[in-house]
């Protein structure tokens, strides 16, 4: 761990403006999957993306580790989950200042092998006032081992579902969301790479996009964005599966999930609170 102590507390600053064009493209990418609000829930992930020259990209299309994020001895990086606190909504034409800081680097043994985790805090401010605070959990893992059996994916329990959306993600949706967030990760558009290098069944649906679905279903039920939203990736979702985005309610708390219809596997779960 001493190899990564110098990364703890490292900060990065960026600034971006919310334009009508950006919002129009966000809505066109996710028709019927957005809740109320001038700026829908989850849009902040389109702001201030990492934009590096090709020479600074890794084999997977991500920025090379060691620039913004530490270089862990594990080659595959994914977004594992996180927590969002919405203090006040964003608006069209807001100039948003994004501040990011690396908080923690940890390692553990998971069902699929060695895992490294990097915890990053972000804040999004307008005119000096914080609108959104966020923690992102990034996971690093080894290349797939063909001799190691894949872990059993989690099956959906019976829920008293109060509202749901059906989503059929396809390559066009994935391309558009990658473009909105300037995400170069090849698993979302290069099927051969996704299968032969990273070991997936096909093109992988973005974890953040699945979170956006759940954030907006929660906003539709609650009438506004949830104050606190916690989410966690559980199993990969690849193109070819239709899913249900589902919610159940207990008082002011919503449990949400993305469930593959064909085999009842839960790919992401979340909890939203007013």
| Cα four-point dihedral sign 220, 225, 226, 232 | positive
The mean pLDDT value of the chain amounts to: 95
pTM of the model: 0.95
pLDDT at 21 over 90: yes
Q: What is the pLDDT of residue 2?
A: 62
Q: What is the pLDDT of residue 226?
A: 97
The pLDDT tens digits for 36-62 are: 999 999 999 999 999 999 999 999 999
* 246 CB neighbour count, 10 Å cutoff: 21
Give the bridge partners for 126, in sequence order: 129
- Estimate the crossing angle of helix 171-181 against helix 20-29, to 10 degrees: 160
What is the span of the domain harbouring residue 222?
A: 2-273
> Percent of the chain, pLDDT > 90?
85
> Looking at residue 169, which CATH number applies to its domain?
3.10.129.10
**What does the alpha-carbon distance between residue 1 and residue 154 come to, in Å, rounded to a whole number?**
31
The pLDDT tens digits for 161-202 are: 999 999 999 999 999 999 999 999 999 999 999 999 999 999
Domain count, the chain: 1
* 194: CB partners within 8 A, 6+ apart: 186, 187, 188, 200, 202, 203, 204, 238
pLDDT band at 144 (very low <50, low <70, confident <90, very high): confident
Q: Are strands 76-86 and 129-141 parallel, antiparallel or unpaired?
A: antiparallel
Q: How far apart are the first and last CA of the chain?
A: 37
Q: What is the pLDDT of residue 186?
A: 97
């Amino acid at each position: 761990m001493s190899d990564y102590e110098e990364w703890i507390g490292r900060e990065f600053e960026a600034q971006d403006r919310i334009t009508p064009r950006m919002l129009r493209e966000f809505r066109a990418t996710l028709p019927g999957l957005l809740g109320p609000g001038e700026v829908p829930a989850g849009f902040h992930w389109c702001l201030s993306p990492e934009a590096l020259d090709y020479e600074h990209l890794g084999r997977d299309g991500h920025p090379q580790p060691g620039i913004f994020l530490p270089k862990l001895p594990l080659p595959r990086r994914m977004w594992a989950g996180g927590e969002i606190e919405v203090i006040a909504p964003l608006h069209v034409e807001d100039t948003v200042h994004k501040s990011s800081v690396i908080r923690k680097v940890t390692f553990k043994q998971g069902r699929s092998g060695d895992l490294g985790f990097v915890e990053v805090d972000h804040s999004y401010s307008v005119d000096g006032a914080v609108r959104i605070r966020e923690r992102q959990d990034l996971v690093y893992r080894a290349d797939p081992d063909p001799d190691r059996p894949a872990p059993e994916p989690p099956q959906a329990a019976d829920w008293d579902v109060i509202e749901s959306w059906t989503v059929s993600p396809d390559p066009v949706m994935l391309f558009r969301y990658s473009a909105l967030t300037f995400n170069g990760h090849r698993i979302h558009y290069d099927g051969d790479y996704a299968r032969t290098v990273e070991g997936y069944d096909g093109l992988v649906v973005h974890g953040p996009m699945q979170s956006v679905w759940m954030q907006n279903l929660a906003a539709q039920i609650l009438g506004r964005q949830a104050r606190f939203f916690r989410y966690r990736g559980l199993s990969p979702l690849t193109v070819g599966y239709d899913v249900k985005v589902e919610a159940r309610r207990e008082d002011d708390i919503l449990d949400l999930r993305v469930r593959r219809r064909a085999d009842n596997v839960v790919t992401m779960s979340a909890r939203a609170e007013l």
